[in-house]
A and B are shown apart, each in its own frame.
Chain A
């Protein structure tokens, strides 16, 4: 710290930061992106290993043979389901009782904030059925859950069949030390959420449900099963939960061990696992899987019923049976044996799963990247914001104090005449207005849907999405409303102070997000950081702002749906990062860049990238449709499950992004 307290050396450091700021920023950004892309390559990925001693070896002899029984149950279940048109509660109760479980039901109802068009539901009411196998070796203090979600379409019949057959098999064993809850939920995740809230006797999302009659202590782990065919070619495992939470890595290791033991074909993100990690193929495929995982985790939605368990600190994952065109198929016995093995191992657990990693990225089922290795990627990106903020702060400081000898050499600071007072009061208005826009974006779409449907010929769901977009776009008109509020003195100092505040605000937000949900933080940082760093009130000073602005707004409004693609934006970033000082680009170009890197555009870009990685590329029109659906789903998931992505974007990042927009159009 002598470096900072010695004024001479401090001056040298300041000069270094000021002069080399642009190259340092570019370097840091490139380093961040490169680090991230390198995560899929061997020195950074490690082999997974089982940390929990109690689950150490796979010396469990699986005895499940009830394949025929499972198929029989599945057929009966499907028939009863078709007949009643809903979950056949009475039949399930009877069957669970006949295999010797203690059976309870739970009814729930929920009115969604607006109709869910993807799942075609609005006023939802249903019944969950669950049976408890009481363990003879313990006093009902701990339990495990096997759950099957049933939605209104006729899928997952085989999963219910397998669940019942497994229950019958498990009931005959005497080694259970944890109660096992067999749970069949109606309306898939809504039912799961209702059951979980009732089990923990809390009300997080405002769902109405009847209290549970039977409980079985603290739930230690849960497995969700989705299976819609009598034979499967592979089992896909989903780990990403609500708000990007992940289960303990040991649970995934357990699944992978039994996959290997049973010779099953197991996939992650629907991708086959490459065995060859010495050549380039494995890591490249790993990178694809890793990117898919990052995109799914960043979405913050539960990718399966397991995602909702994670909030209650129940380690959980979802297994999906995939039936594709491959030659070699496995029957239900193989899947059942895997589940039996997993449950017997979980039964051995002495403590909750806690030994292994909770924060990781997966380039393959048998490889992982730990938090210590992936955080530098986000750190490098956030360093750009820090460097820029430091530069601005120094410039502001110099301008105020008037240290001629430090500013003498550097270009930008020489431009600023010394003036007193940073003018913090001038920042209050833009901050308040942008934050108010965020609040409006958060509240108005759902609140105003009925008004919108009365005045425009749209359905509620459409009304919500369109209001969302309208408010989002209306935020871009902000400079009109603020330019008269700002005091006319020292205009440069004004925008610099605003940008400084915006940079720090953005850095803090992204830092917090990256800590809890790395994928989301990284994606947002990768898109928002470069433009945030280079934003300046550029362009001709003496042209009237208003007509110019409205013109560019119109231009970009029209251009928005069509001008989205990642690679050009990419080039532009690097271009700007490197040559800001050399070629000052015009304001419309900056505006276009800023719009392209706004949170909504990031979402749209992510959708395209996601489908591209899944090898099902989107056309522009499809992409736009998917974007609208994703917006509606995002809002719905916030209200139904408590997903935090929507409030995070609306209340945090969007206002912050508006500040940069404000800087760009600073008069």
Chain B
């Protein structure tokens, strides 16, 4: 590749061990979760506004981060990431989770239809509502999506821990990523399994998301059930050792 040959000529003075860090590589011992990037590479930052903050308003940590970024190579931005205002990492994750057999076009299409459907329903409600109630109705589908997902996220989870031959359901704290994953997973499985066969996915999703937005519906019920189980198993909380 043109870039790597250029790299090699400019790096001729540096020792071989450092040139090895900048090429696409395969690690010597292949772990299960490895990547073609050397761990030396840093994650890219595609948002525009981050680069327009003037020098004076940076904290010392941000200054150090900038210094580090200027000396380290950066990974390439993925296909689904842009600097556009419509690029939402949470929504992208949801699209990926809905995708079957790598067909992102269909998954993205369903999500777009869902957002449009939600907007239509909310605008209809808005026009039918009396003057006083109009301000409370949220019409932005992205805001509804985020709020609905927030309402579905469990605060505490259960883990199966073996003690003395028996398995106990022990309440454990969940990381942010895990909570988001569970909320999305419940939403998708609920829409796929528990709805009428003939309704289309976008219709099912928009119904469920609007219900979660107002804290009703099966997904928030499932979250509450998980919380109740964790509360009832409170006595086993000390079985957790981490």
- Say whether A associates with B: no
Task: Write the residues of chain A forming the contact surface with B, with a CB cutoff of 8 angstroms.
Answer: none
Q: CB within 8 Å of A: which residues of B?
A: none
